[in-house]
């Protein structure tokens, strides 16, 4: 029992209080992303609850928070709109057919993510270069900051959206400053209570008892087109499997959307996992997180949530507030559901300025300020990757930025290694010309490798020594085969020495007739030199 409790939490007080803080911050985020996707706020809240509870219990990273996210919402909206158009065109008697299509799509999303976990694809997040990670963190901080600026706007009676002004603006800025100030000062005085939760409660009390005219969670929902938080427990979508017939001719849209959502969800979740790993100096399981994310999305499809993935901002709030165990995520999810079922009137009175202040402190803590100091000290290629990932994160989204950063880093690595191939040349006493190859032989270096040889003018006996070289791929094998055939076509003798066992196997599989050209011994002659020296010293 103690082991089970320890697996859930090592510090119940911190996890419970940080979970409550996260739950408060989850409400406007889930509602906002529901509006982006074009669905009812309750669908977003249910999605956040189901994602949160499943990943908190079964996920691979204790302390990480999952819920409805903006990156997935912007992909969902196109499919939802298309589904609604189909429903109207075919006069299908189903209210909001696009939303029902979303639930079906989430079943496929979950299946893809579970498959990724079972195939152990989660480990590839460990291959993400540090400049990509740093650029991702900086871009993330900027995105979180920019997302909060939307809360400084209001909708007029004519439907026009404009920036708030005058006393309302100054009041909001004052409450934001108070929230940030409390979060900065309180940890210096005591760490027994979470600064974020204390600041939210204090600012809420000031706004309520001071009768301040500021935007609240409730006004945010109303202005966005929602009717409020009050709802009931999510119910099983009994008609979901009967809806498969409505997708006739649109399977391409459903499946392509599912793959995109699955990829975005996994990339963001695994990147968040990696970030929390670094902050907490512990290690989570990427594969386990993939399976948990998939299971949560399937549950969303069956019970009417909008699905989602790891929420980076909320995860950072949780960790910064002391949430380290699974209990923090469990409390956050259950508290969110409790807010919807029982606490809607209270939660709707929380000022947005308090939540904005919390997120601004997250931005300050998230941004890698050291990147300004090291930018001119690191290789220019790494600096370009860092800046590119940060920019693409703001311009597109986190998933696209990470993929682009990894591709750029891989190309830079390939280019650097492609120029490392060398060939030292010497002639033996019997007239045999020896090419001693140094450096990796792969698709990027084959052209330079071929340029090292002068088949027409070389003597009749050639030896290519691979003792300092590693053949990495099929392109390297093809390069060896081609240069060998070039010498053979000229009637010259050629011998390949010190090929690795793997390379020999691949080469002989591709060209069995080259067996007589490959030296059978794979011993390293330098070994004998060393042992001879050791024997002489003894």
Last-in-domain residue among 311, 340, 373: 373
Asked if residue 426 and residue 369 are part of one domain, the reply reads no
Is the pLDDT confidence value at 538 over 70?
Answer: no
Asked if residue 458 and residue 333 are part of one domain, the reply reads no
Instruction: Show the domain range for 427.
Output: 419-537
Last-in-domain residue among 373, 401, 428: 373
Buried-state track 307-329, b at ≥16 Cβ within 10 A, e below 16: bbbbbbbbbbbbbbbbbbbbbbb
Q: Is residue 398 part of a domain?
A: no
Q: What percent of the chain has pLDDT over 90?
A: 43
Structure tokens belonging to residue 453: 């040889």
Higher pLDDT, 351 or 159: 351
pLDDT (0 to 100) of residue 160: 81
Q: Is residue 489 part of a domain?
A: yes
Asked if residue 88 and residue 209 are part of one domain, the reply reads yes
Is the pLDDT confidence value at 531 over 70?
Answer: no
Q: Is residue 464 part of a domain?
A: yes
Q: Is residue 79 part of a domain?
A: yes
Domain of residue 523, CATH code: 3.30.750.24
Asked if residue 259 and residue 138 are part of one domain, the reply reads yes
pLDDT digits over 150-190, tens only?
Answer: 888 887 777 788 898 889 899 999 999 999 999 999 988 88
Is the pLDDT confidence value at 537 over 70?
Answer: no
Q: Is residue 75 part of a domain?
A: yes
Is the pLDDT confidence value at 522 over 50?
Answer: no
Q: What is the mean pLDDT of residues 304-320?
A: 92
SS3 content of the chain, % helix, strand, coil (to 5): 65, 10, 25
Asked if residue 329 and residue 431 are part of one domain, the reply reads no
Flag the least confident range among 198-212, 293-307, 489-503. 489-503
Q: Is residue 403 part of a domain?
A: no
Asked if residue 427 and residue 362 are part of one domain, the reply reads no
Looking at every residue in the chain, the average pLDDT score rounds to: 87
Q: Is residue 36 part of a domain?
A: yes
Q: Is residue 150 part of a domain?
A: yes
pLDDT digits over 408-456, tens only?
Answer: 998 988 888 888 889 999 999 899 999 999 988 888 999 999 999 999 9
Asked if residue 425 and residue 369 are part of one domain, the reply reads no
pLDDT (0 to 100) of residue 536: 44
Last-in-domain residue among 373, 397, 431: 373
Asked if residue 188 and residue 324 are part of one domain, the reply reads yes
Asked if residue 328 and residue 202 are part of one domain, the reply reads yes
Q: How many CB atoms lie within 10 A of CB 22?
A: 33
Asked if residue 363 and residue 257 are part of one domain, the reply reads yes
Asked if residue 336 and residue 463 are part of one domain, the reply reads no
pLDDT digits over 96-109, tens only?
Answer: 888 999 999 999 99
pLDDT (0 to 100) of residue 350: 92
Asked if residue 351 and residue 487 are part of one domain, the reply reads no
* CA–CA separation, 268 and 226 (whole Å): 28
Q: Report the domain count for the chain.
A: 2
In this prediction, residue 6 has a pLDDT band, given cuts at 50, 70 and 90, of: low
* CA–CA separation, 377 and 417 (whole Å): 22
pLDDT digits over 31-66, tens only?
Answer: 888 888 888 889 999 999 999 999 999 999 999 999
């Amino acid at each position: 029992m103690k082991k089970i409790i320890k697996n859930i939490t090592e510090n119940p007080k911190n996890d419970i209080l940080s979970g409550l803080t996260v739950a408060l911050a989850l409400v406007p985020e889930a509602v906002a992303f529901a509006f982006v996707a074009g669905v009812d706020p309750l669908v977003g809240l249910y999605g956040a609850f189901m994602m949160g509870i499943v990943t908190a219990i079964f996920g691979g990273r204790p302390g990480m928070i999952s819920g409805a996210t903006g990156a997935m919402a912007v992909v969902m909206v196109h499919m939802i709109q298309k589904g609604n158009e189909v429903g109207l065109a075919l006069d299908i008697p189903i209210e909001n057919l696009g939303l029902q299509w979303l639930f079906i799509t989430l079943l496929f999303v979950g299946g893809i993510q579970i498959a990724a976990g079972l195939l152990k694809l989660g480990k590839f997040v460990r291959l993400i270069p540090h400049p990509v990670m740093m650029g991702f963190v900086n871009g993330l901080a900027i995105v979180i900051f920019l997302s909060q600026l939307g809360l400084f706007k209001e909708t007029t009676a004519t439907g026009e959206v404009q920036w708030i002004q005058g006393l309302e603006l100054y009041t909001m800025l004052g409450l934001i400053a108070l929230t940030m100030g409390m979060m900065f000062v309180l940890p210096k005085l005591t760490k027994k209570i979470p600064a974020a939760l204390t600041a939210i409660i204090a600012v809420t009390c000031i706004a309520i008892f001071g009768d301040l005219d500021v935007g609240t969670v409730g006004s945010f929902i109303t202005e966005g087109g929602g009717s409020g938080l009050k709802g009931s427990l999510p119910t099983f979508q009994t008609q979901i499997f009967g809806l498969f017939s409505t997708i006739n001719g649109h399977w391409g849209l459903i499946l392509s959307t599912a793959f995109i959502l699955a990829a975005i969800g996994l990339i963001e979740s695994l990147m968040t996992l990696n970030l929390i790993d670094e902050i907490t100096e512990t290690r989570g399981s990427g594969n386990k997180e993939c399976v948990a994310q998939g299971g949560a999305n399937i549950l969303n499809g069956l019970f009417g949530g909008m699905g989602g993935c790891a929420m980076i901002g909320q995860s950072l709030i949780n960790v910064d507030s002391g949430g380290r165990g699974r209990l923090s995520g469990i409390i956050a999810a259950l508290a969110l559901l409790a807010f919807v079922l029982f606490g809607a009137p209270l939660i709707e009175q929380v000022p947005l300025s308090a939540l904005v202040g919390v997120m601004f402190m997250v931005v300050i803590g998230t941004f890698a300020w050291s990147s300004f100091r090291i930018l001119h000290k690191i290789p220019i290629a790494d600096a370009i990757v860092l800046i590119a990932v940060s920019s693409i994160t703001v311009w597109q989204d986190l998933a696209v930025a990470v993929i682009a950063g990894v591709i750029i880093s891989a190309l830079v690595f390939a280019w650097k290694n492609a120029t490392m191939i060398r060939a030292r040349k010497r002639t033996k006493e019997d007239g045999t010309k020896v090419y001693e190859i140094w450096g990796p032989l792969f698709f990027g270096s084959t052209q330079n490798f071929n340029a090292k040889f002068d088949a027409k003018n070389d003597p009749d006996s050639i030896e290519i020594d691979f003792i300092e070289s590693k053949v990495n791929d099929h392109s390297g094998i093809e390069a060896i085969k081609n240069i060998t055939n070039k010498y053979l076509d000229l009637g010259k003798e050629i011998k390949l020495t010190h090929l690795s066992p793997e390379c020999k196997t691949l080469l002989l599989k591709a060209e069995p007739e080259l067996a007589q050209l490959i030296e059978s011994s794979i011993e390293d002659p330098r070994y004998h030199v060393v042992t001879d020296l050791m024997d002489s010293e003894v």
